[in-house]
Structure 1
Amino acid sequence: MVKVAGTFGRSGVHDYILLRASAVILLAYILYIVGFIAFNDVNYLVWRSFFSSLCTQVFSLFALLSMLVHAWIGLWQILTDYIKCTRLRGTLQFLLTSVAFIYVFSGFVILWGI
């Protein structure tokens, strides 16, 4: 049996469930943000107080981590389907996944003010 380095031993069903769960979390987060904007007169002070609440910070962190999971699996699937050169695929996967990790780390620093 051949193990693929990008999957870390996961099965297709596991990836399917992770993708769907992360998509649901991202959809809920988008609806949460859009609902806040739709029902409030948003200015800087309101926006800052909204994002300083613990509930919003934790939900934003879950959304960031869901984006990372979704991007990781999606990139692996797309790159293995369309990029046949192993070296190019590995390089692209490393670069794009690194960008996703930097995005999550930056979001974490912004959210929690570290």
Structure 2
Amino acid sequence: MKSATGLTGSGSRDWYLQRISAVVLAVYTVVVFGWIIFHPHFDYDAWFGFMMTLPMKIFSLLAILSLAAHAWIGMWQVFTDYITTRQMGPSASGLRLVLTTAVIVAVFVFVIWGIQIFWAN
């Protein structure tokens, strides 16, 4: 039987993973904006010092991976829901393959770049 899922092998697990990743991203946004609000005159050194602490590096890595999972699951759902042979004819399979490949490459590059930013120094 062919699996019709995006990331985890199960539609319900994908749904939960997307919701968990959304919570992680929301908390990360609140933490970063909260730091900015309470440091209105910060400079590069203060920002660098905050973002390069071990807890923020780990939290940033978690946010990067959450964003990658969230984006992949969301785009996979959009592609499978809206790029169908019923709506677009036989060319839909090729278009979906091209778009899916582009998203995979973009997400992979984003994750590698994010890891490099936080962990390369």
TM, length-normalised to structure 1: 0.92
CA distance in 2, matches of 1:76, 1:3: 13
Counterpart contact for 1:3–1:9, Cα < 8 Å: no
Matched AA of 1:76? W
Counterpart contact for 2:64–2:111, Cα < 8 Å: yes
Q: Bigger shift: 55-64 or 94-103?
A: 94-103
What do the CA deviations read for 1:12-40 (whole angstroms, capped 9, x no partner)?
21111001000000000000100000001
Matched AA of 2:101? F
Matched AA of 1:109? Q
Match of 1:95 in 2: 102
Larger radius of gyration: 2
TM, length-normalised to structure 2: 0.87
Identity %: 38
Matched AA of 1:62? L
Give the structure, 1 or 2, with the largest relative contact order (CA under 8 Å, sep 6 or more): 1
Matched AA of 1:83? I
Distance 1:9 1:33, change over 3 A: closer
Shift of 1:9: 6.2
Equivalent pairs counted in the alignment come to 113
Shift of 1:8: 5.5
CA RMSD across the alignment: 1.5
